[in-house]
Amino acid sequence: MEIKIKDVNELETLVLNLTFYDDNNKITVANSLSYIIVDVDSETVILTVNNFTVNAQTYVLVVPFAKNAIINPVSTGEDKIINIIFTYLNGTRQGTYDYKYRVRNLGIATPFQV
């Protein structure tokens, strides 16, 4: 499932408050978590974090400001995807989320800027 979240400015920290749900849409305890951040247009992998222990129903995922840099300097903004994979039920089941967000290029004037 792809979830659209807020836009951020380039070099801004992004904070996601995650809650984990099982196949029956009930809150569950995630045992482990992995995620990858990819620039949509260039397919550039920005960050990969593999398989760390969570053991909680919620987790605060922080995308550091340096990972929200603009790749194409002539673009007004760039779409990014955070693909999250988590395990639950002692690692016997798996869930996924895709969060899509836009990074605004502050160095490019847009028609909405005065």
What does pTM read for this prediction? 0.86
Under 8 Å CB-to-CB from 97, ≥6 apart: which residues?
1, 3, 18, 83, 84
- Per the CB < 8 A criterion, the answer to whether 4 and 102 are in contact is no
Which pLDDT score, from 0 to 100, does residue 6 have? 82
CA distance 66 to 11: 6
Reported as a single tens digit per residue, the pLDDT across 19-42 is 999 999 999 999 999 999 999 999
Which pLDDT score, from 0 to 100, does residue 21 have? 95
Going by the DSSP 8-state scheme, the letter that residue 111 receives in this structure is T
Please determine, for residue 108, whether its predicted confidence score (pLDDT) is greater than 80: no
The domain made up of 2-104 is a member of CATH 3.30.930.10: no
CA angle 40, 38, 18 (to 5 degrees): 115
R_g (Cα) of the chain, nearest Å: 16
Which pLDDT score, from 0 to 100, does residue 61 have? 95
CA distance 68 to 91: 31
